[in-house]
Structure 1
């Protein structure tokens, strides 16, 4: 894994050049309204950038450009004119890619819904129906509850799957969260797949039954329901990432551990990685934080393992994101090795690439860092299908849902097994 972090001479030179430039913002960019900001799929050009490493990609992010996906040393980057100029001045070769192909521009047939050809994706209301039906069909093993409310007042639903779902038993608990970033709709399908797999197969599949009997499995399918609803509210997909506060927040930069510490987020409300005015300022992150805190029983955190699903790039990531050090404060070398071994084992089952989060690029205020630092939870991010691409990578056709969610079945089983160790 250390080889992933070695910089080439070219990457070192690019990083030095990027650090030498300030991060200017044009008057036109400053006038952008924060409610829409730079997030529409049409608001920037997507470029293919080769010969990048974690350090280069971190500095790309710090210009205000957004790394959309990474495959090997090739990154797809969305940048406006001034950001692209900075990147070129630093010596990066930018090859223009398609920012809006048929996948992102062929929007919903009606506002608030997915297009007919992608109707297998679940809207917010359809997701709620799925949870209610699971609770109705499997009342003994499903407890339907809530993690809190969003900025616009929507419920952030949660379900527990266990053999005595209505009781709080002394069993290891595992949490799956999805859709922190609004446009990553495949992730909600992943959480719903986990729900259906561990309910519909209970009693007929021995391995599934054993896990449900011996664990308490929590699923939060849409951490960011307002953003999800907004992303499909127009005639086209909006390419929306953040929540829907007046100054929208990137939820995965709003968590409390090392919030805003290390250049891995933005303090600019117009940035796609805006971290908010303070840690847990967003109702959504505060709600999930309170839910996780509530699982401390008699001084012991019951949740022992967690996956936060994202798209895309086909990666398995583990803490820390705020630093490139393996065993930074709060993580011993042995604990890091456990993360790496488990991450590599899960990646071996789904074909994803395993790495420490900061090998992708530095992030601060992320859910994985907080889960581990605050509660010693084995917390991973899975970046799902596809493995690379531009804006349209956030909108794969619904024909891939079953294949790409079931692709993670064995990895989920590995984590559930590990949660009891």
Structure 2
């Protein structure tokens, strides 16, 4: 299996242009032109929105149906088409357009071919399964809206037997344009298999844990964003919305806990944070949710810990996202202490910033909130590299892929080590962990 990414790409810098307010009506389309000029008025691009300082400010902005890409000290970065940018301006926000990546000397932009395609990802899984038949087994858990297979990969010693062991789930690529997360899935698959029998810690963990990896939750969106020859900055799935010409549901606002409760998603099909027509109305959400529910054996959920990988921001996030409160229904002070303790420990391994999800802004219908409240799974989101758009935003250059996936090796191992009882991270083993 190919372990290293193709292509050599270095980091890029965003430059700022003044936004003209003479914008025509926009539609969702591609990124900037190859020469670095601002995209046409019918395309999407990133904007910096000024005077958005607090979590409350960011939540207010998000409630307009705006997807926030990056949080800065007193501003945020968003992706919007011309019509949405003009709407925000009419609401009193000050926007500054950011140009797309450009080539300057030896600085080259990320290209779609830097990342595994959907078909290449499945081929890599099949190659690992053939090379390590005693460790790896894959299964199709359902199909996307357009009929592509959604695959779950199991890694464990004695992989063909469903043993009574703690299970850990890693999900990737809920948002189409976040291709680095698929590379993270393939890195984890490679590292766990190649190091079994060689690395004592990994060997011990795979002897006592079952690991599940879903490399692409949103294959239709991935293909649409990547395989036209240029990136489209597409976020949602590709499911049509009845009564609207707008396509797609934000899968990470479509989960069936506090769905649409709190202004943390949009009811407009044209929004990048459209929550769908109902909980689990997104084809892919329902597939993965059914898979997770199916891991309940004799009334007990076998999956104990989970990371949902996203880009970008270099963050470790935990529930709840729908409320600013640290505790809530089904989330006690001890639960919150365990989330925080393990979240901090995970962040210590990779240099990310640990925080409750709503410290950024309120979201509802997220996978983390659902996994904890509905299934009792200690569920985290990792926002991977870069920390800002200067590192490539959603499309970091290909030559950072190996570095930024391996950066999370210890976090993966740490989560596996606590899968038997996460409360141990907070010193609560006597109350919650069996001897």
Give 5+ residue unaligned stretches, structure 1.
1-26, 109-113
**Is the contact made by 2:110 and 2:392 (CA closer than 8 Å) also made in structure 1?**
no
Aligned to 1:169: 163
| Alpha-carbon offset, residue 46 of structure 1 | 1.3
Looking at structure 1, the residues matched to 193 and 210 of structure 2 have their Cα atoms a distance apart, in angstroms, of 12
Give 5+ residue unaligned stretches, structure 2.
1-22, 32-42, 242-247, 422-435
Aligned to 1:208: 202
| Alpha-carbon offset, residue 94 of structure 1 | 3.8
Aligned to 2:120: 126
1:362-381 counterparts in 2 under 5 A? 362-381=362-381
Looking at structure 2, the residues matched to 412 and 186 of structure 1 have their Cα atoms a distance apart, in angstroms, of 16
**Is the contact made by 2:141 and 2:291 (CA closer than 8 Å) also made in structure 1?**
yes
**Is the contact made by 1:319 and 1:380 (CA closer than 8 Å) also made in structure 2?**
yes
2:225 aligned with 1:235: no
Q: Secondary structure at the match of 2:44?
A: coil
**Is the contact made by 1:107 and 1:237 (CA closer than 8 Å) also made in structure 2?**
no
Aligned to 2:8: none
Relative to structure 2, which stretch is displaced further, 49-58 or 76-85?
A: 76-85
Aligned to 2:279: 279
Aligned to 1:18: none
Looking at structure 1, the residues matched to 264 and 229 of structure 2 have their Cα atoms a distance apart, in angstroms, of 33
Aligned to 1:183: 177
Q: Secondary structure at the match of 1:394?
A: coil
| Alpha-carbon offset, residue 208 of structure 1 | 0.8
Looking at structure 2, the residues matched to 54 and 28 of structure 1 have their Cα atoms a distance apart, in angstroms, of 31
Looking at structure 1, the residues matched to 30 and 365 of structure 2 have their Cα atoms a distance apart, in angstroms, of 24
2:212 aligned with 1:218: yes
Aligned CA-pair RMSD: 2.2
| Alpha-carbon offset, residue 265 of structure 1 | 0.6
Aligned to 2:240: 246
| Alpha-carbon offset, residue 328 of structure 1 | 1.0
1:113-152 counterparts in 2 under 5 A? 114-115=112-113, 118=114, 121-152=115-146
**Is the contact made by 2:253 and 2:274 (CA closer than 8 Å) also made in structure 1?**
yes
Compared with structure 1, are the counterparts of its residues 71 and 404 closer, same or farther at alpha carbon in structure 2 (3 Å cutoff)?
farther
**Residue-pair matches, total:** 378
Output the TM-score relative to the length of structure 2. 0.82
Aligned to 2:28: 38
Aligned to 1:320: 320
1:264-275 counterparts in 2 under 5 A? 264-275=264-275
Aligned to 2:56: 55
Looking at structure 2, the residues matched to 175 and 282 of structure 1 have their Cα atoms a distance apart, in angstroms, of 20
1:320-399 counterparts in 2 under 5 A? 320-389=320-389, 392-399=392-399
Q: Secondary structure at the match of 2:354?
A: strand
Looking at structure 1, the residues matched to 282 and 88 of structure 2 have their Cα atoms a distance apart, in angstroms, of 31
Looking at structure 2, the residues matched to 201 and 393 of structure 1 have their Cα atoms a distance apart, in angstroms, of 31
Output the TM-score relative to the length of structure 1. 0.85
Compared with structure 1, are the counterparts of its residues 391 and 231 closer, same or farther at alpha carbon in structure 2 (3 Å cutoff)?
farther
